């Protein structure tokens, strides 16, 4: 089934955007799809198909790329017929018990842009669109190509900047914005109108007295991610400066690419890197001041890698770190690695600093970028930011759909997913 | 910062429950906390404190349990003074650069239920409530005790059953219900009133024509979890039978404990277990039929373990499995392990079968239990279930707070968290 997840901190978007914050409306503006995405997979040309003598592997020779080999189990398990799959949604129906434990393929041929292949033991005929078959190929060459697409290409230089009005008017400029966040981790939208409606999903960052969250003070904020104590911390963060009085001094925003720092640690200090992959840090949210009390303690290593050993996640926030609770012999190695990683983050060549002005909205991937701010003095004025989060699954889906709309099969950056490429 | 995560599939609860489904209102009924949770940590008696000659380790001798050792870095990093921590929320303020790289402890003493200790290099005085210090102890004995508390105690026998009216009237019976889900993975609430209000967060399970989701047919459903293609799949699922006409035949609900099956695989087939820890399966949601199109592909192994090698997550759903995309040499080992795990799940001694009647609400942990249903015939009648999800962080917090309200420091079951115990 498929429904709605209840959570005190989550808000439904639905299609009704009338009550949503301006920045969210912008984000969802082009979310309805005018065409079938499944039609967009190009059908590649094939030089021939063959089956190994023992019947366990099918090979497809593509005209323009290295051949792909598919195992008999894989072929049977992914059958596209209506008994085996709900074809509209590619939802499998075939339970494992229906796949013969000894399984060989009979014959294979190309028929009108599809591969048709039969299995011997259960006498099943399978048919696959060639475009689909190529898109999920697991040949070494194709996995390497996917892996390369998933690598982040780090760059220095100014942050890409967009105008609210231009994004509003053009789906292509919208795509440029979304793609800038996907590729660079951060982009700025200028002249975003400040809310004239009351919306429930934003959090206000405004300094005030008697606070229990350091964000609501004039103090500087170290580089951090929001909510690493959640199983799935926020993906996209939209931080919209709605007021900054002339009297206010300081308070520049700072960003750093945590994935870059993690990859630097991996390259330069492999032992420390291995420690931070292995030792679970403690993240927590504990308070009884809010509308509902929290006692959330979540342990996870600061860095994780996918099955190929490539960095796929970083978790970093001094503010929500709780006491380390690991076997004694891991404590000193942990701190040695923690100190080094903190140093690399602080001195990262990816650091960016700018002053958000009223109407500026910093849109960034909270899973990749650490954010912070310099200290400021209000001098009697007001400094106000409104923030909101987009779930990481939703953000990645949004980017993927925008690519697919344009017939682009581009793989997404390796953030979160435990893929093997 | 800390705010709201936007997601098409998430709904905010807030404190306004007037527009929420009955089952959700029941779940949140006792969520406001009448007392400070931090006061509830008992202050243990201490026989003495000492520091090793080199100054790097502090030892506390508890009167009633094994001694705890705390490293100098740990002591400094977790300082509770207002410069180092926002004490109301235990939010750290101390950046790594402020902790001396060479650090030794000076003297330590017990003062009025607190440990007071000084560091030499930066001449800092730290003070910790003994109750807190004991609660986060990482001695082998304390980590082992936490680990034991986190172990699931599997049981056979009937599902615990509760009455809606009794839960509504008594916070203690509410606690019994929540605890039953936490401990057993599944509990039933009977006589839950059917909605007389329109709520947006439920999904209806009702068979109809022209569907793209197999849930909405008369077909049986294999054991599965919902939404394993999400980074954080639903935690608690509340599945409320709102109508079942007398003409309907069949359609019993079935449940199985996937964590039990994973632990069985670990014990009986360690090689297959190792394969399923290592090889990322593909989970996906692909369709363009819904209000917003989805192209979500998430790769993750079927099973994961915490840093101590204990099972902390299982992901299983034939319906949302996509094509495996891993290096060729892993494909046959994957299928051998997949078939065996499927067999253990199908034949698990933890299987439970019952017929939901109108008013019955099956409340279960979607991260631990697989659920399914037997085939049915409507014979012209109606069979209707309403489902909804509670995020896993929220559910675990709810359970933890209920324990803390009762002064119980019980650790939660090992589901999701990558802890080292």
Identify whether the C-beta of residue B401 lies closer than 8 Å to the C-beta of residue A295. yes
Does B87 lie in the same domain as B187? no
User: Of A208 and B335, which is predicted with more confidence?
Assistant: B335
Using pLDDT thresholds of 50, 70 and 90, give the confidence band for residue B204: confident
Task: Give a yes or no: residue A8 inside a domain.
Answer: no
**Contact between chains at A143 and B327 (C-beta distance less than 8 A):** yes
Judged by phi (left if over 0) then psi (alpha if -120 to 50, else beta), residue A100 lies in: beta
Secondary structure (DSSP) of B240-298: EEEEE-TT-EE--EEEEEHHHHHHHHHHH-HHHHHHHHHSPEEEEEEESSSSS-EEEEE
User: Of A194 and B7, which is predicted with more confidence?
Assistant: A194
**Contact between chains at B326 and A295 (C-beta distance less than 8 A):** no
Determine the residue of chain B that is closest to A32 in CA distance. B292
According to the model, what pLDDT value does residue A26 have? 85
Task: Give a yes or no: residue B35 inside a domain.
Answer: no
Which residues of chain A make contact with B340, given a CB cutoff of 8 A? none
Complex ipTM more than 0.90, yes or no: yes
Does B293 lie in the same domain as B237? yes
CA distance A158 to chain B (A): 25
Does A377 lie in the same domain as A318? yes
Does A356 lie in the same domain as A284? yes
User: What percentage of chain A exceeds 70 in pLDDT?
Assistant: 89
Lowest mean pLDDT among A188-192, B45-49, B289-293: B289-293
**Contact between chains at A332 and B284 (C-beta distance less than 8 A):** no
When the pLDDT of each residue in chain B is averaged and rounded to a whole number, the result is 89
Residue (of B366, B360, B305, B414) closest to B190 by Cα position: B360
Q: Which domain holds residue A72?
A: 42-138
User: CB-CB: which of B139, B215, B284 is closest to A90?
Assistant: B284
Total count of domains within chain A? 2
Using pLDDT thresholds of 50, 70 and 90, give the confidence band for residue B229: very high
User: Looking at residue A385, which CATH number applies to its domain?
Assistant: 3.60.130.10
Using pLDDT thresholds of 50, 70 and 90, give the confidence band for residue B409: confident
According to the model, what pLDDT value does residue B15 have? 46
**Contact between chains at A390 and B331 (C-beta distance less than 8 A):** no
Cα distances (angstroms) measured from residue A189 to each of A243, A364, A371, A388: 15, 11, 17, 14
Q: Show Cβ contacts of residue B270 under 8 Å, excluding neighbours closer than 6 positions.
A: none
**Contact between chains at A3 and B388 (C-beta distance less than 8 A):** yes
Does A165 lie in the same domain as A246? yes
According to the model, what pLDDT value does residue A5 have? 47
Does B190 lie in the same domain as B55? no
CA distance A259 to chain B (A): 18
According to the model, what pLDDT value does residue A8 have? 30
Which residues of chain B make contact with A73, given a CB cutoff of 8 A? 331-332, 335
Average pLDDT over residues B33-48: 72
According to the model, what pLDDT value does residue B35 have? 52
Identify whether the C-beta of residue A279 lies closer than 8 Å to the C-beta of residue B308. no
Identify whether the C-beta of residue B63 lies closer than 8 Å to the C-beta of residue B47. yes
pLDDT in tens, A11-70: 334 445 666 778 878 888 877 665 555 555 778 999 999 999 999 999 999 999 999 999
Does A371 lie in the same domain as A248? yes
Virtual CA dihedral for A334, A340, A342, A347, nearest 10 degrees? Answer: -170
**Residue that is last in its domain, among B114, B146, B178:** B146
Task: Give a yes or no: residue A147 inside a domain.
Answer: no
Dmax (CA) for chain B in angstroms is: 82
According to the model, what pLDDT value does residue A290 have? 57
Identify whether the C-beta of residue B387 lies closer than 8 Å to the C-beta of residue A246. no
Half-sphere exposure at residue B331, Cβ-oriented, CA atoms within 13 angstroms: 22
Q: Show Cβ contacts of residue A76 under 8 Å, excluding neighbours closer than 6 positions.
A: A94, A99, A100, A103, A119, A122, A124, A126
Lowest mean pLDDT among A174-178, A290-294, B178-182, B375-379: A290-294
User: CB-CB: which of A140, A292, A326 is closest to B31?
Assistant: A292
Does B374 lie in the same domain as B280? yes
B366 is written with which tokens?
């979607």
According to the model, what pLDDT value does residue A1 have? 40
According to the model, what pLDDT value does residue A302 have? 98
User: Looking at residue B50, which CATH number applies to its domain?
Assistant: 3.30.2020.30
Does B378 lie in the same domain as B268? yes
Does B254 lie in the same domain as B309? yes
According to the model, what pLDDT value does residue A13 have? 42
**Residue that is last in its domain, among B113, B146, B179:** B146
Does B233 lie in the same domain as B299? yes
User: CB-CB: which of A32, A291, A397 is closest to B295?
Assistant: A397
Task: Give a yes or no: residue A315 inside a domain.
Answer: yes
Does A207 lie in the same domain as A58? no
User: CB-CB: which of A138, A387, A391 is closest to B10?
Assistant: A391
Digit-by-digit pLDDT tens for chain A (421 residues) are 444 444 333 333 444 566 677 887 888 887 766 555 555 577 899 999 999 999 999 999 999 999 999 999 999 999 988 899 887 778 899 999 999 999 999 999 999 889 999 999 999 999 999 999 999 999 999 999 999 999 999 987 899 999 999 999 999 999 999 999 999 999 999 999 987 666 666 777 776 655 556 677 788 899 999 999 999 999 999 999 999 999 999 999 999 999 999 999 999 999 999 999 999 999 999 887 656 788 899 999 999 999 889 999 999 999 999 999 999 999 999 999 999 999 999 999 999 999 999 999 999 999 999 999 999 999 999 999 988 899 999 999 999 999 988 888 899 999 988 887 8
Q: Does the pLDDT at position B19 exceed 70?
A: no
Using pLDDT thresholds of 50, 70 and 90, give the confidence band for residue B266: very high
β-bridge pairing A46-51 and B57-62: unpaired
Task: Give a yes or no: residue B413 inside a domain.
Answer: no
Task: Give a yes or no: residue B286 inside a domain.
Answer: yes
pLDDT in tens, B306-329: 988 999 999 999 999 999 999 999
Half-sphere exposure at residue A394, Cβ-oriented, CA atoms within 13 angstroms: 25
Q: DSSP assignment, residue B321? A: B
Residue (of B2, B219, B16) closest to A201 by Cα position: B2
Using pLDDT thresholds of 50, 70 and 90, give the confidence band for residue B205: confident
Using pLDDT thresholds of 50, 70 and 90, give the confidence band for residue B201: low
CA distance B416 to chain A (A): 8
* Top mean-pLDDT range of A207-211, B216-220, B373-377: B373-377
């Amino acid at each position: 089934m498929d429904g709605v997840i209840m959570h005190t901190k989550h808000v439904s978007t639905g299609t009704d955007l009338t009550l949503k914050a301006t920045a969210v409306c912008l984000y969802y503006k082009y979310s309805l799809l005018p065409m079938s995405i499944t039609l967009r997979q190009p059908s590649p040309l094939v030089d021939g198909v063959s089956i190994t003598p023992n019947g366990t592997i099918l090979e497809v020779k593509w005209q323009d790329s290295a051949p792909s080999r598919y195992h008999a189990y894989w072929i049977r398990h992914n059958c596209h017929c209506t008994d085996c799959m709900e074809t509209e949604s590619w939802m499998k129906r075939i339970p494992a018990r229906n796949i013969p434990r000894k399984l060989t393929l009979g014959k294979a041929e190309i028929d009108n842009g599809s591969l048709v292949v039969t299995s011997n033991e259960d006498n099943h005929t399978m048919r696959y669109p060639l475009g689909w078959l190529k898109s999920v190929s697991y040949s070494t060459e194709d996995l390497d190509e996917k892996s390369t697409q998933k690598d982040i290409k780090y760059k220095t230089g100014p942050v890409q900047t967009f105008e609210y009005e231009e994004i509003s008017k053009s789906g292509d400029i919208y795509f440029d914005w979304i793609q800038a966040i996907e590729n660079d981790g951060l982009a700025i939208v200028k002249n975003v109108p400040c809310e004239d409606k009351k919306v429930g999903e934003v959090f206000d960052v405004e300094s005030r007295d008697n606070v229990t969250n350091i964000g609501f003070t004039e103090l500087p904020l170290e580089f951090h991610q929001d909510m690493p104590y959640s199983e799935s911390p926020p993906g996209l963060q939209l931080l919209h400066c709605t007021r900054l009085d002339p009297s206010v001094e300081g308070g520049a925003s700072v960003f750093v690419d945590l994935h870059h720092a993690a990859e630097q640690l991996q390259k330069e200090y492999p032992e420390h890197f291995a420690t931070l992959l292995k030792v679970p840090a403690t993240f927590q949210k504990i308070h009884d001041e809010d509308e509902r009390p929290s006692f959330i303690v979540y342990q996870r290593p600061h860095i994780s890698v996918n099955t190929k050993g490539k960095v796929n996640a970083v978790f970093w926030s001094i503010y929500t770190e709780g006491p380390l609770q690991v076997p004694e012999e891991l404590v000193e190695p942990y701190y040695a690695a923690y100190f080094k990683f903190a140093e690399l983050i602080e001195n990262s060549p990816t650091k960016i600093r700018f002053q958000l002005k009223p109407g500026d909205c910093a849109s960034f991937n909270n899973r990749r970028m650490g954010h912070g701010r310099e200290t400021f003095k209000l001098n009697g004025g007001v400094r106000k930011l409104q923030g909101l989060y987009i779930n990481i699954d939703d953000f990645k889906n949004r980017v993927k759909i925008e690519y697919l709309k344009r017939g682009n099969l581009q793989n997404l950056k390796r953030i979160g997913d435990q893929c093997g490429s």
